[in-house]
Structure 1
Amino acid sequence: MHWTDVDGLRMPVLLAGHPGLELCNTWAGWGHPPGPHREWLRGYDHLATWAGHASLLDVPAVRRLRAAARREPAEAELALAAARSFRAALRTLLLDRGDAGAFRAVAAQARRAAAAARLTADADGVVSWTLSPDNPLDLPLLACARSAADLLCTPARAHVRACPGADCGWLFLDPRGRRRWCTMAVCGNRAKVRAYANRH
């Protein structure tokens, strides 16, 4: 099964090994004709909930964002559209490092994330980076952009693979060079069934 229930919303299972790749996996059937059934980020609630599901935001932040989206639906739609656009550019760049247009789009959001980053310390003195964007509804996108930029700067980028499964195209990290499918239980088994049917 490709999905799980998170706070009453269907979310794609996490199987990619990195939040940036997980964002790309919120669309099903890359390279196939678009359709509403392919979209996991169907509304801003889904985007905010996904960011928590992918461990980019904590539960209180997700709740605040969902409440803010209800107060400002137009701003939430803009933030959702920007996240979807970033998702497409990021996937293109991960699979084609020479795509200059995709790089510019990803780098622009990474710059916004860097500009919104603040070094903070909690009551116990634990220091961490937090994001304080001008528009709080951009928080899921910027958190993902920051994480994706980190991936792009590491050797792990060379281990990104796309599932060849029919109507899939999900991304995952394959550092050992042995993984073919996003998940053997779904895409791998479907391919085995088709191969068996073709032989018989």
Structure 2
Amino acid sequence: MTEAPLIGEPLALDLVNTRPTGVDLLMTPHDLASWLALQAERFPELAIARPTAADLAAVHSVRDHITAVLDALLHDRRPPADALRGLNAAQAAAPAIRQLEWGGDAVVATARRHGTTAEKLGAVLAEAAADLLADPSIGKLKRCEADDCVLLFLPAHPRRRWCSAERCGNRVRVARYYQRHRSAD
């Protein structure tokens, strides 16, 4: 990866944010492995030791569908039907089936998916998108206000303006400071 991706937003937004302006942080299976490792603590079902080109293609497909839906929502438009169908198809390719097992002292329900690694990965990411898109908080979705940033976020605070205060917020503040002091000369 050429730069470190921001993480910490809902998984579907973290995925969309792997494509900042002019850069794709998931160009190779190795890049995908690095991103999945960053998500491993939050989403252990994404742990894949050696992603393949097929896994990468599945992730790109889901990311493209999520991006199309979010772009429509940001512009108060109806999401494209083909993007919604694509997310539904990705989920259906490897649905989570809760299997009941005896854990020694209690019944345990464990979600299991059947299919190829690419299908499972696509299903997990599409399911995360479904959770995000159906959540009422999606109406708060914002694009970073920095001029050269396209990253998306769900603000925990209504006054949040940047994808990251450390990343874009500092750049904007420094530029403003420089502009004020330059014009004072």
Range class of TM-score, shorter chain: 0.7 to 0.9
The unaligned stretches of length 5 or more in structure 1 are 4-8
Give 2:18's match in structure 1, choosing from 17, 26, 47: 26
Instruction: Give the structure, 1 or 2, with the largest relative contact order (CA under 8 Å, sep 6 or more).
Output: 1
- Aligned partners of 2:113 and 2:70: how far apart in 1? 23
Provide runs of 4+ in structure 1 moved above 4 Å. Answer: none
Q: Residue 79 of structure 1 contacts residue 138 of structure 1 at CA under 8 Å; is this kept in 2? A: yes
In the other structure, the counterpart of 1:15 is: 8
Aligned partner of 1:6 in structure 2 is none
Alpha-carbon distance, 1:149 to partner = 0.5
Please report the RMSD computed on the Cα atoms of aligned residues, expressed in angstroms. 2.8
Q: Tell me how far apart the structure 2 counterparts of residues 132 and 150 of structure 1 sit (CA, whole Å).
A: 21
Give the corresponding residue for 2:169.
Answer: 188
Matches within 5 A, 1:59-74: 61-63=47-49, 66=50, 69=52, 73=53
Q: Is the 8 A contact 2:26 2:32 kept in 1?
A: yes
Q: Is the 8 A contact 1:15 1:172 kept in 2?
A: no
- Alignment of structure 1 residues 82-121 onto 2, 5 Å: 82-101=61-80, 103-114=81-92, 116-117=94-95, 118-121=97-100
Structure 2 unmatched runs, 5+: none
**How many Å separate the matches in 1 of 2:124 and 2:110?**
13
Cα pair 1:131 1:143 within 8 Å, conserved: no
8 Å contact kept, 2:143–2:152: yes
Q: Secondary structure at the match of 1:62?
A: coil
Matched, 1:78 2:63: no
Q: State the number of aligned residues.
A: 175
**Whole-Å separation in 1 of the counterparts to 2:58 and 2:89:** 16
> What letter corresponds to residue 113 of structure 2 in structure 1?
L
Higher Rg: 2
* Cα distance in 2 for residues equivalent to 1:23 and 1:45: 15
Q: Distance in 2 between matches of 1:80 and 1:150?
A: 17
Identity %: 26
Counterpart check, 1:39 vs 2:17: no
